[in-house]
Amino acid sequence: MQPHKLVWFRNDLRTGDNHALYHACQNSAEHGVIAVAAITPTQWQMQDEAKCRVQFWLANLEKLKQDLAALNIPLRIIHAETNQELPEQLLNLAQQFNVRSLYFNCEYPEYEQKRDQQVEHLFRQQGIRCHTYDSDVVLPPGSVLNQQGFAYKVFTPFGKAWRQLYLQQPSTPLPSPAALPKRQDDVVIKSASYTENGSENYCDKVPVDIGYKNQMGANWNSAFWPAGADDAHRLLQQFVHERSHNYKQLRDFPAKPGTSSLSPYLSVGVLSTRQCIAAMQAYSEDPDWFYSQWVTELIWRDFYRHLLVAFPGMNRWQPFKPEIEAKISWQYDEKRFRAWCDGETGFDIVDAGMKQLHETGWMHNRVRMISASFLTKLLRQDWRLGARFFMQHLIDGDFASNLGGWQWSASVGADAAPYFRIFSPMRQTDRFDPKAEYISRWLPQSQDGPLFAQNSGRPAPVIDYSLERNRSIDEYKNSSG
Ligand code: FAD
């Protein structure tokens, strides 16, 4: 068997701007290149992956397989039932194909880092070299530091330093590698069977077929988020061309298509952040595009990844500010939590958001903030409950961004909302959904009635807003000093 290089795909399901793939394909005259991805139901279960996210990931994997085939790179899909099996299975594959080096892009949560260290250790023991890359971020964790050489804990100076560094050395996306020559001794790679009766149309059966038990929440909507890089780039260009100039004005209005809705593609790595920035550079009509609000949001994505690496306690669900959380007594009230989960709190904007989440697997950012603030500050439930629930339902579920968003909302995170910022659902509705367009889209019952429950067949409010607001402020006030 001729020697091979092996590329391991995870949440980087793209051929363009994929550092691991690109470098594996350089100088490969002597080597063939093969690719692998692993179906890991136990890991998905443990990490609360939403059903729609798994479906979306698998559908994109299928597209990636086609894109790789066009480059003469076969993709092998392996099925690792337990996490312990994964390194051994990868090694078996490597030995079967005489693999001399392994290439992959880093993932930053601690669990993934440990998994990768295990794999690297095992491979190195066998004399197989490992090459890793920071393809999931624009600037690698540890590269954006303050003057004392420490990681930033606050976003604004991080963003400023990030932009300065980027301008010194713009990080442009890598192209897809050129197709490799088709080899005479072509390897025939047979993937593990994970489809019922060998059917290729597995997306709607995925959770059953692969033994994945999370049956909650929405199915992936392939009309709204079609799988594959071609469609992802089409949607990216469309957003940049047609809507990015209005982003700052419209992004807080959940009834309007003001944001890009590209987060599912970024989450499974069909798009990279660099490709989004490059699209702005190429297609935006705004001469100041680099300082635009949309680029700022993309920098937030990097920020949360940098934090996760610099402050590993976050991986274990520790708050960034434990001194604040120590004095808060979360209520752990099942009735309140259930009402929030089911979108039955009687506060329309909150319930509409939860209905959007249940039906589509996605929620508008403004409503994520309102909903998270409501659960933590008004229902006074532990932010971890909400964060887990979001991960179990979001198609764009992302450990770092979700953790960051929840800690921010509960005022226990880096650069958190000040404790007295408690979103009033009524005031937020007045400001961002004044004609109740968003609310009536997701709560048709409230279409004809006023915004509040009593008159409209909606549940009665689960709490007394003013009472809980005052309690919460008192508690946070004591905890901060
Ligand atoms: P756009 O506004 O078009 O922004 C473009 C991209 O920038 C997004 O796709 C996303 O990748 C990134 N981005 C935007 N805002 C943020 C942010 N605040 N933090 C980090 N990255 C950001 N985002 C996730 O991708 N996954 C999550 O699991 C997630 N959980 C969240 C939980 C809470 C409680 C909150 C308040 C926010 C969460 N976010 C999460 C951030 C944000 O809500 C989503 O990224 C955004 O709504 C996605 O919609 P979009 O693609 O239209 O974003």
For residue 85 the two structure tokens come to 């099996």
Distance 121 CA to ligand 1 centre (A): 34
Report how far ligand 1's centroid is from the alpha carbon of 205 (Å).
Answer: 28
CA pair distance 413, 416, nearest whole angstrom:
5
List pLDDT tens digits, range 143-185. 999 999 999 999 999 999 999 999 999 889 999 999 998 865 5
Judge whether 406 counts as a catalytic residue.
yes
Q: Which atom of ligand 1 is nearest to the CA of 267?
A: 25
Q: In 3-state terms, what secondary structure has residue 33?
A: strand
Catalytic residue among 383, 402, 408, 468: 383
Is 409's C-beta closer than 6 angstroms to any atom of ligand 1? yes
The pLDDT value recorded for residue 335 is 93
Q: For residues 410 and 337, give the distance between their C-alpha atoms in angstroms, rounded to a whole number.
A: 15
Is residue 292 within 8 A of residue 284, CB to CB? The reply is yes
* Interatomic CA distance for residues 360 and 366, integer angstroms: 16
Look up residue 192 and give its DSSP letter: P
Chain centroid offset of residue 284 CA: 25
Provide the token pair at 227.
């799988």
pLDDT of residue 47: 86
Please, what is the average pLDDT of the chain?
90
What pLDDT, on the 0 to 100 scale, is given for residue 27? Answer: 86
The annotation places the binding site for FAD at: 247, 259-263, 294, 297-304, 396-398
- Select the more confidently predicted residue: 334 or 269: 269
Q: Give the position of tokens 């309102």.
A: 370
Q: Which has the closest alpha carbon to 203: 370, 348, 320, 54?
A: 54
What is the Å distance from ligand 1's center to 300 Cα?
A: 9
User: Is 365 considered catalytic here?
Assistant: yes
Q: Are 57 and 268 in contact (CB under 8 A)?
A: yes
pLDDT at 187: 54
Q: In sequence order, which residues have a C-beta less than 8 Å from that of residue 321 and are 6 or more positions away?
A: 411, 412, 413, 416
Question: Buried (b) or exposed (e) across 329-351, using 16+ Cβ within 10 A?
Answer: eeeeeeebbebbbebbbbbbbbb
Q: Which of 406, 408, 442, 468 is catalytic?
A: 406
Given pLDDT bands bounded at 50, 70 and 90, which one contains residue 221? very high
| CB distance 356 to ligand 1 below 6 Å | no
Query: What pTM did the predictor assign?
Result: 0.94
For residue 276, the CA-to-ligand 1 centroid distance in Å is 14
pLDDT above 60 for 189: no
Choice from 52, 297, 371 to test ligand 1 binding pocket (greatest atom count within 8 A of CB) = 297
| pLDDT single digits (tens) 19-58 | 999 999 998 778 899 999 999 888 888 888 999 999 999 9
Confidence band, pLDDT 50/70/90 cuts, at residue 205: very low
Q: What is the pLDDT of residue 185?
A: 54
**456 three-state secondary structure:** coil
Which amino acid is present at 480?
S
Ligand 1: centre distance to CA 371 (Å): 14
Q: What is the per-residue pLDDT for 191?
A: 53
Q: What are the Cα distances from residue 439, in Å, to 382, 425, 443, 453?
A: 26, 12, 6, 12
What angle do helix axes 348-360 and 334-342 make, rounded to 10 degrees?
Answer: 60
DSSP-assigned letter for residue 289: G
* Model confidence at 330: pLDDT above 60: yes
Q: Is the pLDDT higher at 418 or at 285?
A: 285
Instruction: Tell whether the model's pLDDT for residue 450 goes beyond 50.
Output: no
Our answer to whether residue 362 is catalytic in this structure is: no
Q: Which amino acid is at 196?
A: E
Confidence of residue 475 (pLDDT cuts 50, 70, 90): confident
Reported as a pLDDT band with limits 50, 70 and 90, residue 443 is: very high
pLDDT score of 444: 87
Q: Enumerate the β-bridge partners of residue 102.
A: 6, 130
Specify the pLDDT at position 16: 98
Q: Catalytic pick from 62, 81, 85, 297? A: 297
- Site to probe by mutation for ligand 1, drawn from 256, 388, 391, 401 as the one with most ligand atoms within 8 Å of Cβ, is 401
Contacts of residue 316, Cβ cutoff 8 Å, sequence gap at least 6: 110
What pLDDT score was predicted for residue 71?
97
198 pLDDT band (50/70/90 cuts)? very low
Q: What are phi and psi of 33, to 5 degrees?
A: -120, 130
Q: What's the CA gap between 371 and 412, in Å, rounded?
A: 16
Distances (CA, A) of 193 to 78, 199, 207, 387: 9, 10, 14, 33
Please work out whether the CB of residue 306 comes within 6 Å of at least one atom of ligand 1: no
Instruction: Please identify, by atom number, the ligand 1 atom nearest to the C-alpha of residue 394.
Output: 28
How confident is the model at residue 200, as a pLDDT? 35
pLDDT of residue 476: 84
Residue nearest to atom 7 of ligand 1 (CA): 298
Please tell me which residue in 62, 300, 359, 475 is annotated as part of the active site: 300
Q: Indicate if the alpha-carbon torsion angle 268, 269, 270, 272 is positive or negative.
A: positive
- 91-98 CB contacts, 8 Å cutoff, 24+ apart: 91/122, 91/123, 91/126, 93/6, 93/36, 94/6, 94/123, 94/126, 94/128, 95/126, 97/1, 97/4, 97/6, 97/32, 97/34, 97/187, 98/1, 98/2, 98/3, 98/4
Residue-range domains of the chain with CATH: 4-135 (3.40.50.620), 137-174+228-310 (1.25.40.80), 316-476 (1.10.579.10)
Closest to 61 in 3D by CA, of 362, 270, 361, 276: 270
C-alpha to C-alpha distance for 123 and 227, rounded to whole angstroms: 33
Residues making up the chain, counted from first to last: 481
- Which residues are CB-contacts of 147 (< 8 A; sequence separation ≥ 6)? none
Report how far Cα 159 is from the mean position of its chain's Cα atoms.
Answer: 20
- How far does residue 90's CA lie from ligand 1's centre (Å)? 33
Report the largest interatomic distance among the alpha carbons of the chain, rounded to a whole angstrom: 75
Sorting pLDDT into bands at 50, 70 and 90, what band is 385? very high
For a substitution probing ligand 1, which of 236, 365, 366, 385 has the most ligand atoms within 8 Å of its CB? Answer: 365
Known active-site residue 408: no
Which residue has a Cα nearest atom 2 of ligand 1?
259
Q: Which of 120, 330, 359, 475 is catalytic?
A: 330
Is residue 330 part of the annotated active site? The answer reads yes
Is 308 exposed, middle or buried (CB count within 10 Å of its CB: 0-12, 13-18, 19+)? buried
How far apart are the CA of 401 and the centre of ligand 1, in A?
Answer: 7
- Active-site residue flag, 62: no
